[in-house]
Structure 1
Amino acid sequence: MKPFAYVRATSLQEAVTAYARHPRSRYLGGGTNLVDLMKHGVETPATLIDITRLPLNDIEQLPGGGLRIGATVPNSDLAAHPLVRTRYPALSQALLAGASGQLRNAATTGGNLLQRTRCPYFQDLSKPCNKREPGTGCGARDGVHRDLAVLGHSEHCVATHPSDMAVALAALDATVELYGDEEGPRSIAATDFHRLPGTHPEQDTVIRPGELITAVVLPPPAPDAVSLYRKARDRASYAFALASVAAVLELEDGHVRHVALAFGGLAHRPWRATTAEQLLTGARPTDEAVREAVDAELSRARPLRDNAFKVPLARNLARDALTTLVRAADVGPTAAPRP
């Protein structure tokens, strides 16, 4: 690991000012991803700005019934919070499906959103990777890509975003709050926070240089809404998703009043399934309607040589999640579906 300077920030303004004053800075929260990348030589910051002492570790119930989650709230605390478990079960389930208990104790809300891909070409300095070093090429396209993208990828990058939490936040219509030295505070929808690779795969998100995530805000859930998160992986624990799905559903008189569906493990960002949502909204959620909606969404997939299995895997996950939620909504929101 290369030498670096260390700054402990005591306020938001101090943190963003330090970032502006120190070239090649990085914010340090739990460090569960950043420190690993520094050990591999993928990240080589000149200065680490410690934000763990900032007042960003509270979970606050908002007057309208929503929830504001500070950026340094540990993943384990967020997953176990009573309001998250009862009102936003998809989020709790997604967090518990990620990493190990020890890592969840250290990993933070903001850091989870900002974690980098686990594509082996990104993490190996001897391999070409446009995300790590723009212009060197994407070794994964014709190399080892079994775990990589089938949706939204480009010739420049086929990496997937690793977060489980981010997929649930996309389905729950969360908002990410940011603070920058020049811009001040601003908010952006979680569905717009992560980017598709296009010609600039090195840009994972729309966050501006020096901006700091301060919180994630969840809107109040509808009284009769049900949600869940499901994940398929190579082993039962401590593995990233081959495919995952977060779903939210509200029914009214046997018809879909609201549905939100997001896929993980399939793209460079959490994939909000807007085509499927549009087809299901207002319809009766029969098995046939669910099947047609999910198939229409996944018809956009462009699998590579070795990852075509992800398409039927995601299809089956989504169909099962939605039909499970339909049954739960018919019974009532207190009948929480199993993850």
Structure 2
Amino acid sequence: MSHRGEPDPATEAFLTHRNLLFTVAYEMLGMAADAEDVLQETWLRWAGVDLDTVRDQRAYLVKITTRQALTRLRTLGRRKESYVGPWLPEPLLTAPDVAEDIELADSLSMAMLLVLETLGPTERAVFVLREVFDLGYDEIAEAVDKTSPAVRQIAHRARSHVAARRPREAVARAETLAVFEAFQRAIQTGDLQGLVDILAPGVVALSDGGGIKQAMPRPIVGADKVANLFALLLDTVGAELSVEPAQINGSPGLFLRLDGVLDMVVAVRIDEGLVTGLYSVRNPEKLSHVQRETAVSRRAAPGRPSPPPLR
């Protein structure tokens, strides 16, 4: 802090880009807790930088964040090898306006984050920085310690890889909300046939309990099987269960509470008027961040214009 109580230039620059940096780290890692750790490490390194040597503060901060996230991503990969049951990203409670940024919401979705899991660490970093944040190849090359031509080749491979696996294009928001409301209503009323009617024939349900809470050991595929699964859940917990809508990773989702305590977060994927994916997170270690809204962004914070680059 300055002697007048105002943020010093380094702090001001970090705060200006904090939400963007968190989003970079989260999309690379799929874990909010790890993304927060990366931000802390980024700040510690940024605080020691001579700002007079920094030409572009945003690019410099993204470079630090990317390198720290790459290191953390390799550690996270080792943790996943011993993870009990299916692994899902840590869900985020996001503001309603995140859904209005279609590209950001799509990149944050559970479905897309699972596709990104199939990329190698450097490929994932390059894809996120190029496709989501629209960084130039030279900036990305600096961040991942590669040459610009090499980054172009990596970006091309990653783009092709993701295109072959990515979810379908998002439908209009009004249509998505209508389908989601029908899904929520069917869950709340126990309307099994109504649930089957809005599930795609090939709907996939995934569940993450982390070995702490009971969860499905493998994906459940098919409208009838998924509907029966939710029917069994509702019959088991009965009146103790409450269901409330929430914005999860920029898309509609549900909070399921048992006796007022958050037990499960369900992210919903909707394509062409039907529910095509259900991602249920029960691991309590992944439910701490979702209890408060997390700010995500592809740009500098509103009201905090980025300081002009120093020489």
Q: TM-score range by the shorter chain?
A: under 0.3
More strand by share: 1
TM-score for both structures, normalised by structure 2: 0.26
More helix by share: 2
TM-score for both structures, normalised by structure 1: 0.24
